[in-house]
Structure 1
Amino acid sequence: MAFTDASLTALRVFREVAERGTLTAAAAALGYTQSAVSRQIASLERAAGTPLLERRHDGVRLTSAGHIVVRRAATVIDQVDATARELAGLPDEHGTVRLGWFASAGAGLLPRALAALCRTHPAITVITREGSTPALVRALRAGTLDLALLASAPPFRPPDTETPALELQTLTERSLLLAVPATHPLARGDFADVADLHGQRWIAGPGEDRVLGVWPGLDERPDVAHTARDWLAKLHLVAAGCGITTVPAALARAVPAGVRVLPVRGGPQEQRRILLARLPQPLPEPAVRLAAALRAAAIETDTLV
């Protein structure tokens, strides 16, 4: 079988697997059974004459041939979809930009940038979606996102080790902050000392995100009283006096009443970056405009915090 015999369905399935990172997640997203996804991948690998995926205990990883196929598949699928829209008399999507973002970016930076872009370039349509850093990076590689806002913590390693390396631009770099109830003893000062964080009750993330919400580097086992994935839920638990949590500077102006946000002194500086990531290739003009709006919004929010 020659690769020219590869079906469009198999290419769509392969791109979904590349983006989701597992056959199970791709099957759920597509509404297929896992065995149907496996058959499509197998047919594509037969056509390519080489493995496209490396099966691992934690999911799948693209081989070097897989990277070539997913890059080309994105182009083919986008062109076929554009043709279908044109034949149906629908407007083309040349003015559409696909942007991914991490959770706390949605509280300030993202809406500020989108509002500014709407005022200056109303013809540009931006489609966004929230996701974890690994998911957003996979989506960039699969060609289903044009740009992604990523969060980065020390030692600020690249978000993945694939080639070509993603092009990364630092939009902001700010210190991690602490959110405490307004009635908490720590709220009486203008800052918290890292020594004062011992013995506190923490509100953290669930599962693998459990450390999110606990001050990094504490030399004790943290007392995690509550777990919540959503930042707003964490902050409302803080307001209710249920514990304390860390908060990125991007959320400092979005905390609910009853919460005091403080810098922490003592110990290593806990810096956090917001990165704008993309593949190292020319961007279409709408994406260039959105990137500029995100940079401007980042500068503006820096001056407000």
Structure 2
Amino acid sequence: MNIYEQIVAEICSAKHIVITSHKSPDGDSVGSSLGLLRFIEKLGRSAMVCHPDAAPDFLEWVGLAPIWLMTDQPEEVTAAFEKADLIFSLDYNATDRIGSDMQALLEAATCKKVMIDHHLHPQDFATLMVSETSSSSTAQLITELVVQSGNEAMLDEHIGTPLYLGILTDTGSFRFPAVQPRTHELLAKLLAAGVQHHLIHEVLNDNNTASRLRLQGYAMSEKLEILEDYHVALIPLTKEELAKYNYQKGDTDSLANLALSIKGMKVAVMLAERDGIVKMSFRSKGDENPVNTLAADHFSGGGHANAAGGMSNSSVEETLVKIKKVIPDYFEKE
């Protein structure tokens, strides 16, 4: 029995299943959670998806109603954890990634836990663990779960759509090095199951608000700073600037990739002051320009070699100074 068959066996014997994912949900955490939920339901079982906080508005089309939020429904989420006999940890590799409130519930739970994730250096807290750092996304691993457990015939548009969403968004529309032949093999299975891939691209890419475009325009025209010697692009945004353009969750998500698309750029960093801290997105190109070590060493972050996150308790200006100071330690001057 392979690991995926073991996981399905646990699903089929469980009565109270909880599916969790990390704070600040993205396409992969939402897509893998909903894809797994729908697969579990097709197996004839039920589950409850519990996330720390809300997903960005631009993901509402995929169907966020089944997701319970610790920020909005703490009593229901707490009760679900206390009753659970199987908990899934999706798209995170350490318990502190789900916020302190849910972390306490997860660590207190004595039931079986299943981690399915693709990030480096997983923490040892799960009973069963699928940790594949070579995988493009957690959604790809959930697709593997369906296929390699002998349930490929269950794949349909309902299950496949959020899984396609997760793979699409976590690979930067299939541009990142983590995309492997197996990624496309599984995508082909999702398309064969009825997933309307062109509609997913449309709903993701053609939903800009005027304020989001104005914010992005302002960021690129007024805030973009390029360190020519290191081929690094920086975009710092203060809370006042975000407020001026009516910032909504998700509005800055594409800025780091946009800066990285500038000819000659090897690294891009976006800084946004929100919720009392400076949240940071790191993006890079090539094996020779990893950004996860920089994020981990100096900004309480981490992630993948070419896509990582971090944070700073200092001001935007102070954080920017710090980034400029440490960049020579990580990237070669040309």
Greater strand proportion: 1
Structure number, greater radius of gyration:
1
- Greater RCO, CA 8 A, separation 6+: 1
Question: TM-score when scaled to structure 1?
Answer: 0.28
